[in-house]
Chain A
Amino acid sequence: MITIKDIEKGFIDKTVIDGVSSTFETGKCNLIIGASGSGKTVLMKCLVGLITPDAGQISYDGEDFTSMDEKQKKIMRRKIGMLFQGSALFDSMDVAQNVMFPLHMFSNMTLGEKRKRVEEVLDRVNLNGAHKKFPAEISGGMKKRVGIARAIVLNPQYLFCDEPNSGLDPQTSLVIDKLIKEITEEFNITTVVNTHDMNSVMEIGDRIMYMYQGKKEWEGSNKEIIFNNSDKLNGFIFASEFLKDAKDMRMLEIKGKIDNNRDMEELLK
Chain B
Amino acid sequence: MNIFTRLGEFLLMLKGMFTKPENWRMYWKELMHQCVELGIGSMGIVAIISVFIGAVSTVQTSYQFVSSIIPRSVIAQIVRDSVILEFAPTITCVVLAGVVGSKISSELGNMRVSEQIDALEIMGINTKAYLVLPKIVAGIIMVPFLVVLAMVLGIWGGRFVGDISNILPHELYDKGLHDTFVPYNVTFALIKSYTFAFIITAIPAYFGYNVKGGALEIGRASTTAVVTSCIIILLADYVLAQVLL
Among A82, A90, A104, the residue within 8 A (CB) of B122 is A82
Contact of B32 with A by CB under 8 A: no
Contact of A186 with B by CB under 8 A: no
Q: Which chain A positions have C-beta within 8 A of B22? A: 74, 105-106
A-B pairs with lowest CB-CB distance, top 6: A77-B124, A88-B115, A88-B119, A74-B124, A84-B115, A82-B122
Q: Which chain A positions have C-beta within 8 A of B121? A: 50, 77
Closest to B19 in A: A70
Our count of residue pairs bridging A and B at CB distance below 8 angstroms stands at: 54
Contact pattern, B 11-51, Cβ under 8 Å of A = 1, otherwise 0: 00000000000110110000000000000000000000000
Interface size on B, residues (CB 8 A): 16
A residues sitting closer than 8 Å to B (CB atoms) are 45, 48, 50, 73-78, 80-82, 84-86, 88-91, 101-102, 104-106, 150
Q: Which chain A positions have C-beta within 8 A of B126? A: 74
A84 touches B125 (CB 8 A): no
Q: Which chain B positions have C-beta within 8 A of A85? A: 115
A sample of 17 cross-chain residue pairs with beta-carbon separation below 8 angstroms, ordered by A number, consists of A50-B122, A74-B22, A74-B126, A75-B124, A76-B124, A77-B123, A77-B124, A82-B118, A82-B119, A86-B115, A88-B115, A88-B116, A88-B118, A88-B119, A105-B22, A105-B26, A106-B23
User: For residues 102 through 142 of chain B, which have their beta carbon under 8 Å from a beta carbon of chain A?
Assistant: 110, 114-116, 118-119, 121-126
CB distance from A111 to the nearest CB of B (A): 12
Q: Which chain A positions have C-beta within 8 A of B118? A: 45, 50, 82, 84, 88
CB distance from A90 to the nearest CB of B (A): 6
Q: Which chain A positions have C-beta within 8 A of B114? A: 86, 88, 91
Closest to A108 in B: B23
Q: How far is the CA of A75 from the CA of B121 in the complex (A)?
A: 11
Q: Which chain B positions have C-beta within 8 A of A74? A: 22, 124, 126
